[in-house]
Amino acid sequence: MNKYADFKVDAEADLYPTRVAGEQERWIERLDPVVWGDDHPTRHLTALDLESYARKGYLVKHGLFDRDEVSALRDAALALRQAAPRKLGPNVVREPGSGDLRTLFQLEQHHELFDRLSRSERVAGIARRILNDDVYLHQSRLNYKPGFTGKEFYWHSDFETWHAEDGMPRMRALSASVLLTDNDALNGPLMLMPGSHVHYVGCEGETPSNNYESSLKKQEIGTPSPKALDWMAREFGIDYASGKAGTVIFFDSNTIHGSNGNITPFPRSNAFFVFNAVSNQPCDPFAADDPRPEFLGNRSEFDALRIEDTPLK
Amino acid sequence: MNKYADFKVDAEADLYPTRVAGEQERWIERLDPVVWGDDHPTRHLTALDLESYARKGYLVKHGLFDRDEVSALRDAALALRQAAPRKLGPNVVREPGSGDLRTLFQLEQHHELFDRLSRSERVAGIARRILNDDVYLHQSRLNYKPGFTGKEFYWHSDFETWHAEDGMPRMRALSASVLLTDNDALNGPLMLMPGSHVHYVGCEGETPSNNYESSLKKQEIGTPSPKALDWMAREFGIDYASGKAGTVIFFDSNTIHGSNGNITPFPRSNAFFVFNAVSNQPCDPFAADDPRPEFLGNRSEFDALRIEDTPLK
């Protein structure tokens, strides 16, 4: 029985106001479920996984992809990093000095193996199970953080940006990061505040035009105040998500997260997918004049992903 | 029996050449002992401590200072951070924006409690035991790394700088960092490469004039190449030194270390002391035109510290 089967989004209602002119930061309790489905276990999700995800706002699944699959994904990632710039198009972020590829958006459109990864039962299937709806890709990317010079990424809730700038109405989305390299405490892992996802921080300040151009490098609008972060860090603590290549980290759209820089020689690479429920399609941005471009927030392809349960080889 | 009792430094001999004009990076095996004394345990050092320090190049001693002592040291640190600038003099590093105190040098000259800390059996006494000689302070400072914006510090061997710019002849010195705040994996802890201290990397590039003015913010001369660091990180791994306030981290002058930035809300503060053997007094710099100023490398006060074994209250 699906208690959210008849759930309809009222796209006009702004349940999570943020960046409102003249208003200060404010706290709003989450109005949406975290796990939208029931707690019956499935092949890749135990009842404990679901309970833990609901409570903490994230879940680390170790060893979802085996050695051969990781090897194939790494080869595909390397091929993309070495591809001629004209093949990849404009939606990339490159290193200022070397021109090396740091981020490639719309990853599933660039390589058949990453298309299959994005539709895998072990990635999209888990997202569909948690969100209890068909899912589509709101955003996707290949991330490559070099060793020695990896930069930090400051604390934020993804949903705050997706709501403000992409017009995503409700918290019925999540991210999945498929680790292509080993990640430990010291090479700039994803840090998360467990439990922060049940509080929404409506942020102070208005969205500048083309905010995404600077926020991809350093987010300054749409981050909680130091006071709010200090409170959350003391209340919830800070976890970090580590694991070997082949691990997948799932986290709720409203979980506060960030990462430190990385001076170790060990680079970090992952394939990153944002799944949104098809019932939660974006409308006009709630706090920006114009929506972000398609490669950052899909506004045209809402077909349910065809999920496949096959090895990636 | 002291097998190094008759050890004499030949101040003319450059056993560790570095930053030599026209020469590439080169590796030199360490010619000095790590633990200069025997392996008999003392009150604060077990035989295992000494063996571990010799092998890894560092030692973390938890709980050397109790809650009341930490509290007194924190009060003293706060008083110094709030002191009028004219009382502290010029040898400080302040935050660009706020003017807040980040580093105060010659710490033992600014507060009686830190003077006593620098001469404590639990700090200077352990240094003297490892170096097997009377010790004096080559440098000292109070470090305060704020939360949210703490910057990284890149990999380096202290000895390389002390040799090149301060004229320290041999590896008979060590650092002691007394933690005044709790330190974990995520708030920019000291990272060390265990075992790196037995290899010396003579660096490429010449020392610019007044190099210390920029190297205090970001060290660019006197760091091993990425290739060398990559090799060492793979060969030795990377540890981090964590502990509660009151912990003391001792590390050899040639252990490669660094720290990542810190976006967590939790600041880091420590009292930092560099002890040198009185038999290892600096001579002319081995790879710089002029020595660094006194507050960075003591060249005038070589009297043996009067070590005291009393509570700090």
Q: Are the beta carbons of A262 and B188 closer than 8 angstroms?
A: no
Query: Closest chain B residue to A151 measured between Cα atoms?
Result: B261
User: Is the confidence at residue B145, as pLDDT, over 70?
Assistant: yes
Q: What pLDDT, on the 0 to 100 scale, is given for residue B45?
A: 95
Prediction pTM value: 0.90
Nearest to A265 among B153, B226, B260 (CB): B226
Query: Closest chain A residue to B153 measured between Cα atoms?
Result: A263
Assigned token pair, B179: 């933690």
Q: Are the beta carbons of B19 and B205 closer than 8 angstroms?
A: yes
Extract the runs of DSSP E, i.e. beta strands, from chain B.
26-29, 58-61, 92-94, 101-105, 135-145, 153-156, 173-179, 190-192, 199-202, 239-241, 248-252, 257-259, 268-277
| Whole-number Å distance between alpha carbons of A195 and A236 | 6
Q: What is the CA radius of gyration of chain A?
A: 18
Are B240 and A186 in contact (CB < 8 Å)? yes
Q: Which helix (H) or strand (E) holds B213?
A: helix B211-215
B226 touches chain A (CB under 8 A): yes
| Whole-number Å distance between alpha carbons of A13 and A32 | 14
ipTM reported for the complex, 2 dp:
0.85
**Cα torsion angle, B74, B78, B83, B85, sign:** positive
- Average pLDDT across chain B, whole number: 93
Side-chain-facing half-sphere of B92: CA atoms under 13 Å: 21
Chain A environment of B238 (Cβ under 8 Å) = 186, 264
A223 touches chain B (CB under 8 A): no
Q: Can you tell me which residue has the tokens 């999209």?
A: A124
Instruction: Report the residue of A151, A182, A260 to disrupt the B interface, i.e. the one with the largest count of B CBs within 10 Å.
Output: A260
Give the residue-averaged pLDDT of B209-231: 87
Nearest to B238 among A186, A238, A259 (CB): A186
Going from the C-alpha of A200 to that of each of A218, A228, A296, B50, B255, the distances in angstroms are: 21, 11, 22, 51, 45
Going from the C-alpha of A286 to that of each of A172, A216, B156, the distances in angstroms are: 16, 19, 48
DSSP, res A265: S
The model's pLDDT over B250-309, given as tens digits with 9 standing for 90+, comes to: 999 999 999 999 999 999 999 999 999 999 999 999 999 999 999 999 999 999 999 999
Full set of structural domains in chain A with CATH: 26-280 (2.60.120.620)
B106 touches chain A (CB under 8 A): no
- In order, the DSSP letters of B255-272 are --EEE--B-SS--EEEEE
User: Is the confidence at residue B79, as pLDDT, over 70?
Assistant: yes
Assigned token pair, A252: 């709720």
A22 touches chain B (CB under 8 A): no
Assigned token pair, B292: 């660094």
Strand B101-105's sheet: what is its strand order? B58-61, B248-252, B173-179, B268-277, B135-145, B101-105, B92-94
- Phi and psi at B193, nearest 5°, equal -100, 105
Going from the C-alpha of B38 to that of each of B2, B35, B126, the distances in angstroms are: 7, 7, 13
Tens digits of pLDDT across chain A (313 residues): 466 767 788 877 899 999 999 999 999 999 999 999 888 899 999 999 999 999 999 999 999 999 999 999 999 999 999 998 899 988 999 877 788 899 999 999 999 999 999 999 999 999 999 999 999 999 999 999 888 988 889 999 999 999 999 999 999 999 999 999 999 999 999 999 999 999 999 999 999 888 888 877 777 789 999 999 999 999 999 999 999 999 999 999 999 999 999 999 999 999 999 999 999 999 999 999 999 999 999 999 999 999 999 999 8
Chain A environment of B148 (Cβ under 8 Å) = 226, 229
- In order, the DSSP letters of B61-126 are ETTSS-HHHHHHHHHHHHHHHTS-HHHH-S-EEE-TTT--EEEEESGGGT-HHHHHHHTBIIIIIH
